[in-house]
């Protein structure tokens, strides 16, 4: 763990489930979005396996490809408005995750730039930051970018917003896979999509198991697996 923090310049974190616990029913979200796109006459079978946000974007793209641009625009607005309603309702009583605020504070005092990269909406994300006393240099939500995780553009947007010089490392072909030196950038998340985005961006990755089997991260194995965010505190022994 000591090696992870040596030379670290920027740390990117997922929010929900990584830095703070909420009670979002993602299955409900998906059911409602499938129902919504179906009302717009979009066949849901080809897109049923996508995550919620990519499902909405795929439906919008389908409508636009059929020349139904206005409907595609309205679908996205209606979908995002309903998703925000669900998040507001189900994130009303967040629970702090032990070690999260402490870890961010330690990184901040060490001069490490902190970015939070979340697929949640901005208004709810800001409320969660306040509830968890979570400090960061930049927050990039789904409302701020056209493409969210697992697209690496979401992570790069956070680094660009921080004006971080490590972007030059990425642009020059730097990669966590190509170097044995301590990583200048790390992405931490509790879902394999966070890790997939980190791999695609060429940064080092840490997955949080949260009591699950390591097989959960089979679609995108991280460089390091720990159980909880508190396991990343400097001096903590990890397996």
How many CB atoms are closer than 10 A to CB 124? 25
DSSP assignment of 92-109, as one string?
A: SS-EEPTTHHHHHHHHHH
Element (H, E) at 79: helix 69-90
Tens of pLDDT, residues 87-128 = 999 999 999 999 999 999 999 999 999 999 999 999 999 999
The share of the chain scoring above pLDDT 70, in percent, equals: 89
Between CA 161 and CA 147 the distance in angstroms is: 15
Determine the Cα–Cα distance for residues 77 and 67; give it in Å rounded to an integer: 18
**Whether pLDDT at 180 is above 80:** no
How does pLDDT run across 12-39, given as a tens digit for each residue? Answer: 999 999 999 999 999 999 999 999 999 9
How many other CB atoms are there within 10 angstroms of residue 111's CB atom?
Answer: 8
Are residues 104 and 188 in contact, defined by beta-carbon separation less than 8 angstroms?
no
How many Cβ atoms are within 10 Å of 223's Cβ, its own excluded? 18
Peptide bond into 150 cis (omega under 30): yes
Distance of CA 13 to the CA centre of its chain: 7
Buried b (16+ CB within 10 A) or exposed e, 13-44: bbbbbbbbbbebeeeebeebbbebbeebebeb
Residue 65 exposed, middle or buried by CB count within 10 Å (0-12, 13-18, 19+): exposed
E-only strand ranges, the chain: 10-13, 20-21, 95-96, 113-117, 138-140, 185-189, 204-208, 224-226
Residues 95, 97, 99: CA angle, nearest 5 degrees = 150
Q: Measured between alpha carbons, how far is 183 from 203 in angstroms, rounded to an integer?
A: 7
Rounded Cα distance, 59 and 32, in Å: 13
pLDDT of residue 238: 46
- Tens of pLDDT, residue by residue over 219-236, are 999 999 999 999 999 876
Q: What is the pLDDT of residue 166?
A: 60
The pair of three-digit structure tokens given for residue 175, joined into one six-digit string? 């990669």
Strand partners, 20: 16, 96
């Amino acid at each position: 763990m000591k090696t992870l923090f040596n030379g670290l310049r920027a740390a990117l974190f997922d929010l929900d489930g990584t830095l703070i616990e909420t009670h979002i029913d993602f299955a409900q979200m998906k059911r409602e979005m499938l129902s919504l796109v179906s009302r717009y006459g979009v066949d849901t079978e080809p897109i049923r396996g996508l995550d919620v946000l990519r499902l909405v974007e795929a439906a919008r793209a389908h409508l636009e490809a059929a020349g139904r641009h206005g409907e595609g625009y309205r679908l996205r607005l209606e979908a995002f408005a309903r998703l925000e309603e669900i998040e507001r309702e189900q994130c009303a009583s967040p629970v702090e995750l032990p070690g999260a605020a402490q870890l961010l504070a330690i990184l901040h005092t060490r001069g490490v730039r902190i970015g939070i990269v979340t697929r949640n909406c901005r208004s709810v994300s800001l409320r969660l930051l306040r509830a968890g006393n979570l400090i960061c240099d930049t927050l990039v939500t789904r409302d701020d970018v056209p493409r969210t995780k697992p697209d690496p553009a979401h992570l790069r947007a956070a680094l660009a917003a921080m004006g971080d010089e490590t972007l030059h490392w990425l642009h020059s072909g730097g990669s966590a896979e190509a170097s044995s030196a301590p990583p200048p950038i790390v992405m931490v998340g509790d879902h394999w999509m966070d890790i997939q985005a980190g791999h695609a961006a060429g940064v080092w990755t840490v997955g949080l198991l949260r009591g699950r089997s390591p097989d959960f991260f089979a679609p995108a194995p991280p460089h390091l697996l720990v159980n909880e965010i508190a396991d990343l505190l400097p001096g903590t022994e990890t397996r």
